[in-house]
Structure 1
Amino acid sequence: MTRTAVVGAGIVGLAAAHALRARGADVTLYESGPPGGGQSAGQSRIFRHSHEDPRLVALVARSRTLWRQWEQEFGLELISPDGAVAIGAGVEEKLRTLERFAEVPVCRLPPEELHARLPLLAGWTGPAMLDVHGGAIRTLDAVAALVHRLEGSTLREHVLSVRRTGTGSVELRTGTTCETYDHVVLCAGRGTAPLARGAGIDLPVETGAHVRLTFALAAGAPDPGGSAPGTGRGLPTFQDGSGDFGETGVYAAPYPDGRRFSVGLSADTPARPDGGLADPAALAALADRTVAYVRRALPGLDPRPVDHVHCWVTRLPWGDDGVGIWSEDGITALAGHNLFKQAPALGEALAETVLTGGIPGHLHHEEQLGRSAG
């Protein structure tokens, strides 16, 4: 039985530990704080198939299948059935890419249907699309279900170092313990690169800080159950790449109760080499820009934020959706951005890497999965 440590109990670390246990490995999961409390924090994320790299679309489609399997295993709805809406000039290119995948149904949305599905949105008559099997990920439920499955396998410890012993095992040191394992998997968010570097693996991760705000529905918006008036369905997630409302790369997702929407900009403020923020005031500026966008684009929301999520983000240099696995001599590390939706497939891939020694699919970092077209 392979004795494995997984460092980091965000959604990907949880998924990796779950997949390893399902395959018979002896797993210990290390996390210094509440599971899902770092880069996986907050309620609701977008599940979308649309990516510039078709190889990443295929990985996400696999992940959608695994999310359905999790729903059956846990007895929970983990992705809402209401789809993912996108608007802007990039819609036609997104459709051309997704239409290559028979398992990913998509369609264009004329203005009247767009408004019926998303009455929160201000008037928009440009290109719009629906990713039918997209939706809002029930993030807190997913984390809680995995934590329950892994009960008894998690240690609340801060990992200081990992190193190869030279005798075929890997040493892992925390504040109060020292253990050896056959394999160590690093899924520790911004802590992954420093731990990997100490073991001789360089990850070209760029770190920044991000803000996501939550807004309540305004008076006259969809009812508390989340149904768009007259449609009998819940509200979809939303991406705006148009620029017509003053921002590009905006995303929004409804909470499970249908009363609130989380909204964020695809922007962050960079970190200094020592790990601190280069400009702490920039986070406040991002929040102000988000509020201003909601006032212009989403009049169905009350523009006074009711909640904030601040988190670190880790990007690879080849693209905002870039992801990669590094694996050498008993140490495997994962890095990337926008990974929540991919968690089941990434957990499966990390388990395969540990147990077979080979990185599956296109996830080896040299393949630059999620590479931007530009």
Structure 2
Amino acid sequence: MRVAVVGAGVVGLAAAAALLDADHDVLCLDRTGPMAERSTGSSRIFRLAHGSADLVALAREARAGWRRWSEAAGRPLVHDVGCLVSGADTLAWTAAMRKAGAPYETVGADARIPARRGPDVALLDTTGGVIDAEGTGAHLTRRVGAAFQTRVVYLLEERGSGARVHTPEGAVDADAVLIAAGAGTSSLAAQVGLYTPTVLAHHVRFTFATTRTGPLSAWIDQSSGRMATYQHMARPGRWAVGGLLDHAATAWEAGRAEATRAAREAVLDYVRVHLDGVVPEVLDEVYCTTMAGLGDGFHLRRRGPFTAVYGDNLFKFAPLLGDLLARAVTEGTEEKVDYV
């Protein structure tokens, strides 16, 4: 089949690579370049821990895919430092891990995190860790190779039993189209009768210097009385912190500059009060546009030759998603599938 993949973030590239491995004729299009926008940055958290046993099981499948990708890349793409979960979701996520038969430990205040005071009780996802996002992008870009082109896609239309993808450089005809365009998915999917969430928000993650050495666990914290955060070692000597602010502060209508300012102030306050060995001076920031209100999991929508995928925190599922989407696009699937 001739397949057009719209979007070259980690999900689009993973699907394009899987389609190429299955000997399909693939063209992957993105308006900027590989691993831009929502997939940008040096690192991401990998975790098995989720609120449902089904997602834990899917994350285990994805972890096996990361091992295969690491072998093919000739370097570890996930650093096995564990992922600590503390606060409101701890009990529910522990129950889901137990139900799925996934390995975990219960730990206390001596956890390997740069906190002034660690949580009294936390879930340690021993299979979790930190994804080398830059290494992943390099690996997938090599795999996709000449099948990628920088092009703006402005219109999709159904043509007979196939599809036509319109770009300023000309139209591309395909048997099937995968829409994996992140924040741009909803506007493209709507052109072909597919609804995906349309409410967007701003999100910014900040990186700080740390004097802490040794392997530090990634950390998802929703402890009472303070801002919910996710944190991890982005690279040696660098600690990344993302804060989950009230929607009003990061709503699309607030504007990127104001949302970034609010996030920066909130995260800096958090670092000053709650972290130890982390210097409260921002060294770097990673901005992305997110779909507001989505939790963990991913969703597929299909109509005719078009398949759209959307969700939040999808990076960790990328190897699984690539294979799943390649099958969905070429073999067909239900019109609506939710993995939550």
Question: For the superposition of Structure 1 and Structure 2, which TM-score range results when normalised by the shorter chain?
Answer: over 0.9
Distance in 1 (CA, whole Å) between partners of 2:167 and 2:318 is 25
Name 2:278's counterpart in structure 1. 301
Name 1:261's counterpart in structure 2. 239
User: Does structure 1 residue 58 correspond to structure 2 residue 22?
Assistant: no
Aligned letter for 2:146?
A: G
Cα 1:286/1:73, change in 2 over 3 Å: same
Distance in 1 (CA, whole Å) between partners of 2:88 and 2:193 is 43
**Contact 2:176/2:330 (<8 A) preserved:** no
Q: CA RMSD in A?
A: 1.6
User: Does structure 1 residue 134 correspond to structure 2 residue 128?
Assistant: yes
| Segment drifting more, 349-358 vs 200-209 | 200-209
Name 1:22's counterpart in structure 2. 21
Q: Select 1:247's aligned residue among 227, 230, 235.
A: 227
Cα 1:199/1:66, change in 2 over 3 Å: same
- Runs of 4+ off more than 2 Å: 277-280, 364-367
Distance in 1 (CA, whole Å) between partners of 2:130 and 2:303 is 36
Q: Select 2:186's aligned residue among 193, 218, 237.
A: 193
Distance in 2 (CA, whole Å) between partners of 1:237 and 1:339 is 17
Distance in 2 (CA, whole Å) between partners of 1:307 and 1:111 is 29
Shift of 1:125: 4.5
- Percent of aligned pairs with the same amino acid: 31
**Contact 1:215/1:301 (<8 A) preserved:** yes
Shift of 1:241: 1.0
Name 1:13's counterpart in structure 2. 12
Name 2:217's counterpart in structure 1. 236
Offset from partner CA, 1:145-190 (integer Å, 9 cap, x none): 100111111111010111101x211000111111100001001111
How do residues 271-310 of structure 1 correspond to structure 2 at under 5 angstroms?
Answer: 271-272=252-253, 277-278=254-255, 280-310=257-287
Shift of 1:278: 4.9
Q: Select 1:212's aligned residue among 202, 205, 209.
A: 205
Q: Select 2:144's aligned residue among 147, 150, 157.
A: 150
Cα 1:279/1:213, change in 2 over 3 Å: closer
Distance in 2 (CA, whole Å) between partners of 1:86 and 1:52 is 11
Shift of 1:322: 4.0
Offset from partner CA, 1:181-213 (integer Å, 9 cap, x none): 000100111111101111121213321110110
Shift of 1:27: 0.7
Q: Quick check: which one's strand share is greater?
A: 2
Name 1:230's counterpart in structure 2. none
Cα 1:266/1:125, change in 2 over 3 Å: closer
Aligned letter for 1:164?
A: E
Distance in 1 (CA, whole Å) between partners of 2:182 and 2:303 is 19
Aligned residue for 2:145, secondary structure, equals coil
Distance in 2 (CA, whole Å) between partners of 1:279 and 1:304 is 20
Name 2:117's counterpart in structure 1. 123
Cα 1:311/1:89, change in 2 over 3 Å: closer
How do residues 68-79 of structure 1 correspond to structure 2 at under 5 angstroms?
Answer: 68-79=67-78
**Contact 1:92/1:127 (<8 A) preserved:** no
**Contact 1:105/1:132 (<8 A) preserved:** yes
**Contact 1:323/1:365 (<8 A) preserved:** no
Aligned letter for 2:135?
A: D
Number of equivalences: 337
Name 1:67's counterpart in structure 2. 66
Shift of 1:77: 0.6
User: Does structure 1 residue 270 correspond to structure 2 residue 245?
Assistant: no
**Contact 1:88/1:126 (<8 A) preserved:** no
Q: What 5-or-longer segments of structure 2 have no aligned partner?
A: none
Shift of 1:283: 2.4
Offset from partner CA, 1:229-275 (integer Å, 9 cap, x none): xxxxx22111111134x212x0011123x210111012361224xxx
Aligned residue for 1:262, secondary structure, equals strand
Cα 1:253/1:279, change in 2 over 3 Å: closer
Q: Select 2:322's aligned residue among 329, 347, 356.
A: 347
Distance in 2 (CA, whole Å) between partners of 1:205 and 1:348 is 26
**Contact 2:7/2:29 (<8 A) preserved:** yes
Offset from partner CA, 1:307-360 (integer Å, 9 cap, x none): 011110124x5x42242001111111001111110111111111011121125x
Distance in 1 (CA, whole Å) between partners of 2:200 and 2:333 is 28
Distance in 1 (CA, whole Å) between partners of 2:259 and 2:17 is 37
Name 1:338's counterpart in structure 2. 313
Shift of 1:51: 1.6
